[in-house]
Amino acid sequence: DLAYCGKGAWIAPTAVIKQPEKVSLDHYAYIDHYTRVASALTMGKFAKIGSHCAIIGSPGHVTLEEFAELAPACQIVTGSNNYRGDDGLIAHGVPAAYAGNPVVGPVRIGAHALFALQSIILEGTTIPEGLATGAQTLLKSTMPLASWTLYAGNPARRIGARDGTAILEKKKELLKELY
């Protein structure tokens, strides 16, 4: 069972949730077909994870605030290896005493953030409210990111501003109607 499942929340029958007890979905949150969730996950109201996405890197945690959305095939990585090989073995199933030190960090995605097809967010990254990306954008924790801004590329670069006025007004109207 999920830690929490709000009204109207939905998980596609083909989605894979490795640790459902660490997953909380607020009202109308949505996880689409063929998505794999292998980290702790908290989704706000109306947050959506598109089809074929991967949320990986246990023991990390991902938070999608309300109305945040991942288009198909996006990836969020909360844990990885340093790949230098200078601190131990890097392979699945290696006992902890022999394994390298993982690079782990939570990922927080602000309200109304939108990620286009195949965007990637790496461990320790905080995405501000209203940020949006073009397809195949790479976002890392070391990048300065601004609210209500459009980014694209690998690595991500600022493309322009987004106007969140209408979005926030419609949100206010919807939530007033529902609650």
Amino acid identity, position 88: G
> Which pLDDT score, from 0 to 100, does residue 128 have?
98
> Which pLDDT score, from 0 to 100, does residue 92 have?
79
Spell out the per-residue pLDDT of the chain, length 179, in tens. Answer: 999 999 999 999 999 999 999 999 999 999 999 999 999 999 999 999 999 999 998 788 999 999 999 999 999 999 888 777 788 888 878 898 898 888 889 999 999 999 999 999 999 999 999 999 999 999 999 999 999 999 999 999 999 999 999 999 999 999 999 98
93/103 Cα distance (integer angstroms)? 17
